[in-house]
Amino acid sequence: KAGVTQTPRYLIKTRGQQVTLSCSPISGHRSVSWYQQTPGQGLQFLFEYFSETQRNKGNFPGRFSGRQFSNSRSEMNVSTLELGDSALYLCASSSTGGEGYTFGSGTRLTVV
Amino acid sequence: SQQGEEDPQALSIQEGENATMNCSYKTSINNLQWYRQNSGRGLVHLILIRSNEREKHSGRLRVTLDTSKKSSSLLITASRAADTASYFCATDAGGDKIIFGKGTRLHILP
C-alpha cells in the first residue's frame, strides 16, 4: 500500500509569509501527527489529529496550526514565518496513535 | 521537551562489529519505539517494545527495556554500511503521542 505522502518536498518562503504543508496518511490510518526537526532542537512534537479532532498539541506558538479532513488527510499552516521556522517538517500516521508510526519523507522549509 | 535521551550522541564502528545505543527516559511509559533516519529523510519504524516486555528481537536488532531504570538499549549485530544513519528512541507515555530523543548518529566504517 502507498506510504505517507507529504507535499511539497521543498519550499522557500520569505519572512512574514505563510505556508501550508500537506500530508496524506496511509489508507485506513486515522491518526496523523506532525513534527518539526531542526539540528538544535531535534524532533519536536507539533500536534496530533484523530478523526478530524486535534487530540494533542505541543509547545508551539499559535502561528502553527493544523487540521484534518474527513479522508484523514492533514494540513499544517504556519503564519507570519520567522527565520527560526526553517526546518524539516515530518508527518506520521498510525491506525490509532501512540505506536507504530509511518513517516513521510518530510517537507524541507527554508525561510529567508 | 525531550522525553528520551540517547547515548552516545555519535558512534563510529567498523563494518561487521556490533553497535549498541542506549536511551533513558523520565516518566512511566506504555511502550518505547526505535526509529532510523537516513540523511534528513523520514523516519523508519524499527521495533516497538511494550512496558511489560524485557527484550525483543527483529532480524539483527535486539532491544531491551528496563522500566526500573527507565532505560532501553538497541543492539545492531554484524553492522553493515547500510546501517549508517541516525537512530531515535521514542516513548509513548500516554495521550496517543510519542516523544523523541535527539538521536544517536551511527557511522559504519568500511
Tell me what the mean pLDDT of segment B73-84 comes to.
97
- Residue A97: C-alpha distances to residues A38, A66, B9, B22 (Å): 23, 17, 28, 24
A97-101, B83-87, B103-107: segment of lowest average pLDDT: A97-101
**Using the beta-carbon criterion (under 8 Å), do A99 and B31 form an inter-chain contact?**
yes
Sign of CA dihedral A43, A73, A5, B21: positive
Partner B contacted by A60 (CB < 8 A): no
- Residue A1 banded pLDDT, cuts 50, 70, 90: low
Interface size, chain A vs chain B, as Cβ–Cβ contacts under 8 Å: 71
The predicted-structure confidence for A59-112, as pLDDT tens digits, reads as follows: 999 999 999 999 999 999 999 999 999 999 999 998 876 678 899 999 999 999
User: Among all chains, which residue has been given the C-alpha cell 519572512?
Assistant: A15
A chain contacts of residue B41, beta-carbon cutoff 8 Å: 105-106
- Which of A98, A102, A105 minimises the CB distance to B96? A98
Question: Mind telling me how many Å the CA of B87 is from chain A's nearest CA?
Answer: 12
Instruction: Determine contact, residues B7/B66, Cβ cutoff 8 Å.
Output: no
Q: Which of A23, A24, A101 best probes binding to B when mutated, by most B CB atoms within 10 angstroms?
A: A101
H helices of chain A, in order, are none
- Residue B97 banded pLDDT, cuts 50, 70, 90: confident
Tell me what the mean pLDDT of segment B80-88 comes to.
96
B chain contacts of residue A40, beta-carbon cutoff 8 Å: none
Taking the C-alpha atoms of residue B95 and residue B79, their distance in angstroms, rounded to an integer, is 35
The predicted-structure confidence for A10-35, as pLDDT tens digits, reads as follows: 999 999 999 999 999 999 999 999 99
Give the percent of chain B with pLDDT over 90: 73
Taking the C-alpha atoms of residue A19 and residue A16, their distance in angstroms, rounded to an integer, is 10
Edge-to-edge strands, sheet with A74-78 = A5-7, A19-24, A74-78, A64-68
Question: Mind telling me how many Å the CA of B92 is from chain A's nearest CA?
Answer: 6
